[in-house]
Structure 1
């Protein structure tokens, strides 16, 4: 009997402490009388069920205290996780950037950050007309340049294109066919009606050039991170 009384007191104090904590954390949560009545009814229901269980000996005090300690521990973990959610989110973004450098990470201010790959180049995964394409970011390219393979993935018929443009590259002279892309999207940043060309020769990766980059709010490189601004 004595243990039951002590346990009921402990449960009552725990409920009171929980209500006080929630009231301090969310001062505007119980401003209406209806909300206060609902909370009182819920606490009374918990007290009645707990008291009835104790009175009928459905569980022992030691077992109940052990269960209570488990719930308190889980609550503490959830509280810590919520309190440090920004730090955990930043850590997750950092790990994602290390493991998948081509995957763009949105920053709190709406920018997009891309980490450099193993060879120091920035490779960005973009959605072009809804199709995922990996680009090599190239500020020296005047426009977006698609490899023949990526162009076919986007639905272009290479045989019907007119390869009438001449480009001077480090590997010599190449031809290209002008095309328009409905949209290029990297994370939350989207640019519509983008001028591009399809390269006349095979290339390892398509290039994300100035016809996209020049229409952004800005871009900058800080160490091994490229940041794009909408």
Structure 2
């Protein structure tokens, strides 16, 4: 392997290149310690910093490849939807679900997109935060959740927006305190679209024309 091939190899392996550089720097620090102690100490500290950076980057890389690890779930935050042409695209998160950051009454709220949910629903805490008021004449609706059936109160959101999707005067179910922690976009919104489909790790939503 000539010098050019070695340079290209190290360029393609940045963690290895950083590790080798840190080791060489540490060796060089030992050579300068006796004659120029300050320079030697500075080189040694830089080498230690480089090795710590390699360790942290390696851990992050391994966590990213293991999509079910706690670290991967922590690093994989919910993102706004992407607009591709006229379609809105939501990426699959590490937990195997489609999450999106939406604007509910103009306030950022994290939602799980659930095609099996009848209603779009939020927790009482989020409802209060965005100014949703339950209908005083509403007796409530029974919703099936992972923890069993609950009674939710209905309200109307002025707007819910994400990507190229916008719904106005949208019925929203407000879950009782302690029973609902996950905000859900359900079929009450999805049924207003021209269509939706899953392609690989992407949920693609198609708004109606006009």
**Equivalents in 2 of 1:174, 1:147: separation in Å?**
12
Indicate conservation of the 8 Å contact 1:180/1:196, yes or no.
yes
Partner of 1:220: 197
- 1: CA distance, partners of 2:187 / 2:129: 22
Aligned to 2:146: 170
Q: Distance in 1 between matches of 2:139 and 2:176?
A: 7
Q: For residue 163 of structure 1, report the CA deviation from its aligned partner.
A: 5.9
Where 1:121 maps in the other structure, the secondary structure is coil
Structure 1 counterpart of 2:182, from 205, 209, 220: 205
For residues 102-146 of structure 1, give each alpha carbon's deviation from its aligned partner in whole angstroms, at most 9, with x where no partner exists: 321110x22111111111100011111111111011111111011
Task: Give distance in 1, aligned partners of 2:86 and 2:181.
Answer: 31
Give the alignment partner of residue 142 of structure 1, picking from 109, 118, 122: 118
- TM (norm. structure 2) is 0.57
CA offsets 1:133-185 (integer angstroms, 9 cap, x no match): 11011111111011111101111357x79563222333112110011111111
- Give the TM-score normalised by the residue count of structure 1: 0.52
Q: Quick one: distance in 2 between partners of 1:204 and 1:215? A: 25
The corresponding residue for 1:155 is 131
Q: How far apart are 1:227 and its partner, in Å?
A: 0.8
Check conservation: 1:101, 1:116, Cα contact below 8 A: no
Alignment length (residue pairs): 132
Q: After superposition, where does 1:107-146 map in structure 2 within 5 Å?
A: 107=84, 109-146=85-122
Partner secondary structure for residue 182 of structure 1:
strand
Instruction: Give the Cα separation in 1 of the matches to 2:139 and 2:95.
Output: 31
Superposition CA RMSD, Å: 2.3
The unaligned stretches of length 5 or more in structure 1 are 1-97
Structure with the greater alpha carbon radius of gyration? 1
Q: Which runs of 4+ in 1 moved over 6 A?
A: none
**Matched residue SS, 2:154:** strand
- Which ranges in structure 2 are unaligned for 5 or more consecutive residues? 1-74
Greater helix content: 1
